[in-house]
């Protein structure tokens, strides 16, 4: 006997959106994913090198991050730099303006700062060079942030592409500057005078304090200011924004101005405080060194919450520095730390998926054929209308 009944196959897995996810549940999943990612890093490392075992992996990981007071301050300083860069792009994302040009904006800040130091150091009083270089950093960075915003406001161009391409233009401009200043140099501008660090201030404290102040500022700005409110309205619905009388174009440009200012500070701190030099070979071999791209991820993972961003940037720096130590001790080469950070990001991004969706697996029992399904219950006969006799 031929069975002609058609089976409607239920898919092996199907997803439903979770509604009302409790924050506690979300954080438990995130912490779980973090631990899992470290364990996977550990297993991969053990496979890669016979010099690594479970114990030594964790020993080197923590040694590299917290091994001495010097290492802790370096870790916090690096964290602060990531945090400032992430804070810069955050209001743009809240507004759903996809600014992935934080890298280039900070690069241009560094560019402006270097331009002034290279031309005025030694010819002016130190304080004048410092003030001028700081102003130049802000101007260049704001310029780099606002140009794509103007294009967006005026012609509705795609800001994602424009800001991305601006990163590469910034690196080329930086390379051009270095060539101009030192045509026969080694490709890096080193500054002895005219920097904040030449005054003997601690790079750690300056960067750390600036980051702390900015974090608090951004928190208040987002949460309690009218600007912050306007940003969130524009982000959620531009139409609503228009109905309530918000000038969207103005908000976009104003927000990018703020973003440029913060990026400019980051660029300035990198040149004048942290490095005392300027490098611009490529997006990875430069003063900003790709941090602007990582900052985008840091901001997203923290759901644009400034305090949570401090945590995500801590995790990134921790894994990076810890893994570098593991890689050096096990002689695994330079790409190793990048790989570990990659594994970490992979897990954390996957986590967002599991927080937002629930997975249902097909039940073990065979799917019920269509015919056998209980027929929809016949409509209840309407109660007879009462007679009108």
Partner 1 sequence: MKKMLIRIISVALAAVMLVACLASCGNSTDAKDEIVLPAFEGIEKQTVSGEIPETFKIGLICLHDKNSTYDKNFITAMEEVQAELGLKDSQVLISTGIPEGAECKDKAIEMAEAGCQVIIADSFGHESYMMEAAAQYPNVLFAHCTGTKAHTATDLNNYVNAFASIYEGRYLAGVVAGLKLKEMIDAGKITADKAKVGYVGAFTYAEVISGYTSWFLGVRSIVPEATMEVTFTGSWYDETAENNAAKKLISNGCVLISQHADSMGAPNACEEAGVPNVSYNGSTFSACPNTFLISSRINWAPYYKYLINCKVNGQTAVKDYIGTLKTGSVELTNLGAAVAEGTKDRIIETRNKLANGTLKVFDTSKFTVNGETLTKHLADVDDFGDYVGETNVIEGGAFVESKYRSAPYFDLKIDGITLLDEKYG
- Name the site residues for partner 1 (rule: CB under 8 A): 51, 67-68, 70-71, 74, 178-179, 182-188, 190, 274-277, 279, 285, 287, 289, 324, 327-329, 331, 333-335
Asked if 104 and 166 count as a contact pair (C-beta separation under 8 A), the reply is yes
Q: Which residues pair with 189 in a beta bridge?
A: 278
Q: How far apart are CA 61 and CA 343, in angstroms?
A: 15
Nearer to partner 1, 179 or 362 (CB): 179
Nearer to partner 1, 331 or 373 (CB): 331
Q: Environment class of residue 64 by beta-carbon count within 10 Å: exposed (0-12), middle (13-18) or buried (19+)?
A: buried
Nearer to partner 1, 17 or 184 (CB): 184
- As a whole number of Å, the CA-based R_g of the chain is 27
Three-class DSSP category at 78: helix
In the complex, minimum distance from the CB of residue 107 to partner 1, in angstroms, rounded to a whole number: 14
In the complex, minimum distance from the CB of residue 287 to partner 1, in angstroms, rounded to a whole number: 8
Three-class DSSP category at 174: helix
**Which residue's structure tokens are 């923290």?**
302
Asked if 334 and 69 count as a contact pair (C-beta separation under 8 A), the reply is no
Nearer to partner 1, 247 or 328 (CB): 328
Q: How far apart are CA 291 and CA 103, in angstroms?
A: 7
- Candidates 357, 306, 324; CA nearest to 85 is 306
Q: Environment class of residue 384 by beta-carbon count within 10 Å: exposed (0-12), middle (13-18) or buried (19+)?
A: exposed
**Which residue's structure tokens are 């979770």?**
18
Tokens for 37, please give them: 């990612």
Nearer to partner 1, 162 or 175 (CB): 175
User: Which segments of the chain does DSSP mark as H helices, in order?
Assistant: 23-48, 54-66, 69-94, 102-120, 126-155, 159-181, 203-224, 226-236, 238-243, 248-268, 291-301, 306-329, 335-356
Q: How far apart are CA 170 and CA 176, in angstroms?
A: 10
In the complex, minimum distance from the CB of residue 279 to partner 1, in angstroms, rounded to a whole number: 5
In the complex, minimum distance from the CB of residue 170 to partner 1, in angstroms, rounded to a whole number: 17
In the complex, minimum distance from the CB of residue 280 to partner 1, in angstroms, rounded to a whole number: 11
Which distant-in-sequence residues (6+ apart) come within 8 Å of 44 by Cβ? 339, 340, 343
In the complex, minimum distance from the CB of residue 274 to partner 1, in angstroms, rounded to a whole number: 6
In the complex, minimum distance from the CB of residue 343 to partner 1, in angstroms, rounded to a whole number: 18
In the complex, minimum distance from the CB of residue 157 to partner 1, in angstroms, rounded to a whole number: 33
Q: How far apart are CA 114 and CA 81, in angstroms?
A: 18
In the complex, minimum distance from the CB of residue 259 to partner 1, in angstroms, rounded to a whole number: 26
Nearer to partner 1, 276 or 312 (CB): 276
Nearer to partner 1, 51 or 227 (CB): 51
Nearer to partner 1, 54 or 229 (CB): 54
In the complex, minimum distance from the CB of residue 187 to partner 1, in angstroms, rounded to a whole number: 4
Nearer to partner 1, 190 or 213 (CB): 190
Nearer to partner 1, 160 or 198 (CB): 198
- Centre a 10 Å sphere on the Cβ of residue 383 and count the other Cβ atoms it contains: 6
């Amino acid at each position: 006997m031929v069975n002609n009944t058609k089976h409607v196959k239920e898919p092996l897995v199907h997803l439903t959106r979770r509604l009302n996810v409790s924050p506690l549940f979300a954080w438990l999943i995130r912490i779980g994913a973090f631990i899992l990612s470290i364990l996977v890093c550990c297993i991969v490392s053990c496979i890669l090198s016979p010099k690594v075992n479970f114990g030594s992996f964790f020993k080197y990981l923590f040694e590299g991050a917290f091994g001495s007071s010097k290492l802790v301050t370096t870790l916090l300083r690096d964290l602060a730099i990531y945090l400032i860069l992430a804070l810069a792009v955050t209001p743009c994302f809240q507004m759903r303006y996809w600014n992935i040009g934080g890298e280039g904006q900070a690069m241009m800040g560094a560019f402006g700062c270097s331009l002034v130091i290279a031309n005025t150091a030694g010819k002016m009083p130190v304080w004048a060079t410092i003030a001028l270089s700081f102003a130049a950093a802000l101007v260049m960075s704001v310029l780099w942030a606002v140009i794509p915003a103007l294009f967006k406001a005026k012609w509705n161009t795609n800001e994602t592409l424009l800001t991305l391409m601006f990163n590469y233009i910034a690196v080329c401009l930086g390379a051009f500057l270095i060539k101009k200043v030192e045509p026969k140099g080694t490709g890096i501008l080193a500054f002895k005078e005219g920097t904040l660090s030449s005054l003997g201030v601690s790079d750690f404290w300056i960067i750390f304090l600036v980051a702390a102040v900015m974090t608090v500022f951004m928190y208040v700005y987002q949460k309690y200011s009218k600007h912050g409110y306007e940003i969130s309205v524009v982000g959620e619905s531009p139409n609503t924004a228009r109905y309530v009388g918000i000038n969207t174009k103005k908000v976009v440009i104003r927000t990018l101005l703020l973003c440029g200012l913060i990026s400019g500070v980051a660029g300035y701190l990198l040149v004048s405080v942290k490095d005392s030099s300027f490098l611009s070979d490529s997006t990875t071999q430069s003063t900003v060194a790709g941090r602007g791209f990582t900052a985008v991820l840091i901001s997203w993972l923290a759901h644009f919450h400034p305090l949570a961003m401090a945590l995500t940037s801590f995790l990134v720096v921790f894994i990076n520095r810890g893994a570098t130590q593991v890689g050096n001790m096990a002689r695994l080469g330079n790409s190793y730390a990048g790989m570990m950070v990659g594994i970490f990001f992979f897990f954390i991004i996957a986590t967002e998926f599991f927080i937002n969706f629930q997975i249902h697996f097909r039940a073990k029992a065979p799917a019920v054929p269509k015919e056998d399904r209980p027929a929809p219950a016949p409509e209840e006969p309407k109660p007879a209308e009462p007679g009108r006799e």
